[in-house]
Amino acid sequence: RPGVGAALGAALLARLGLVLYGLHQDGAMRVRYTDVDYRVFTDAARLVTEGRSPYRRATYRYTPLLAWLLTPNVYLAEVFGKLLFVAGDLAAAVVAYRALRRRGTAAGQACGCCAAAWLLNPLPMAVSSRGNAEALVALLVLATLYFVEGGSVGKAAICYGLAVHMKIYPLTYALPIALHLQSKWCGGEGAVDTGCDKKAKFTFVGYLWQLFVKMLNRDVLLFGTVAGSVLAALTVAFYHLYGWDFLEHAYLYHLTRRDIRHNFSPYFYMLYLTAESKWSFALGLAAFLPQLLLLLVVSIAFYRDLAFCCFLHTAIFVSFNKVCTSQYFVWYLCLLPLVMPSVKMSWCRGVLLLFLWFIGQGLWLAPAYFLEFKGYSTFLLIWLAGLLFLFINSFIIVQIISHYQKEAQVAKKLKQQ
């Protein structure tokens, strides 16, 4: 525990230092440290305190719950939200640590994984200290996995409902969570392996029958009912308060979004060139197909280790998404501590993969800088760099899967529920 306390203390000091530095840079330099979205959050919170809709603030594309949470930005101090996000950032690390300890990971190794992948990682530090709310979603996702593996299905469902309400992407976890709960119900090794259905035939159709039809057990129904109720209650309540604007900006916008501004996505250039085409909307929807296929395969292959499956889900979702920015990387980095003990590769290989990941970002950022700050037309170079970054991410995912070992520590039963 002393190691955990030291890591948390160092992480807190680093984040608070960045918050203070951000206040200085915002006042002294032309380029602001604070994320532009944080000003949007604060403006929306100010509208809420005035009894108006947060969606009167242009580009506010989030749940009203976030604007409500940040009303102290108006009443107390504008820095409150950053401190809230930092607190969520550290709480996510605590949940990850407890999840690792429950899985049987030694205290020192669990602390090291959390420190290396999250607490002392510059990217999560920057994201939360700049005023981005991703840490709150990371906390809810980790809490969901923690409670699922601990057998607290109701608590997990509440956290999951809140996570999906905050961001759409955790919705992709529904299938692996259902399959995982089904496998626990059938004896811990999965219905397919244990013969939960004695009459099932060793055919592909029989496999799918066992895998999907047998999901309708008590835990799956409880999880779906509670999570659906939480999500429905929040949706109905906010629709009553803010009408169609809420549905359009909080949910539908993210499903039909076609961001033609430069980003890491391999699709951005295609969407940019076809922005005025009648096929633009159809192409945007078609971009979901590779994601859906890969997510389905990963769900069926790895659902028994839920944390590993969700990590792969998120990495694939982000890498192949229509829009991909640096803050999206936090979505899978928060799950990395849970995965590290199960991935057996040499330090040299791990460092090489990390180096490739940063090189891919650097090669993209160079032409992006000349486009944004110098006005050069570097769209083609940005797109080619995005394709290279997709290849690098895909290579890293394949390496992680190929070095994944479901050891006794991971595969054995969790502590008694």
* DSSP character at residue 174: H
Mean local confidence (pLDDT), 13-22: 95
Whose tokens are 């956290």? That residue is 159
Contacts of 353 (CB under 8 A, 6+ apart): 395, 396, 399
pLDDT in tens, 378-415: 888 988 999 999 999 999 999 999 999 865 444 444 44
Q: Which two tokens stand for residue 46?
A: 């100010």
Query: 60 or 2: which carries more pLDDT confidence?
Result: 60
pLDDT bracket for residue 377 (50, 70, 90): confident
Whose tokens are 């996995």? That residue is 145
pLDDT bracket for residue 369 (50, 70, 90): confident
Q: Which of 45-59, 138-152, 190-204 has the lowest mean pLDDT?
A: 190-204
Of 54-58, 270-274, 319-323, which one has max mean pLDDT? 54-58
CA atoms within 13 A on the CB side of 328: 19
pLDDT of amino acid 201: 45
pTM, rounded to two decimals:
0.88
CB 165 within 8 A of CB 230: yes
pLDDT in tens, 207-225: 666 666 666 788 899 999 9
Q: Which two tokens stand for residue 361?
A: 């970002």
pLDDT of amino acid 414: 47
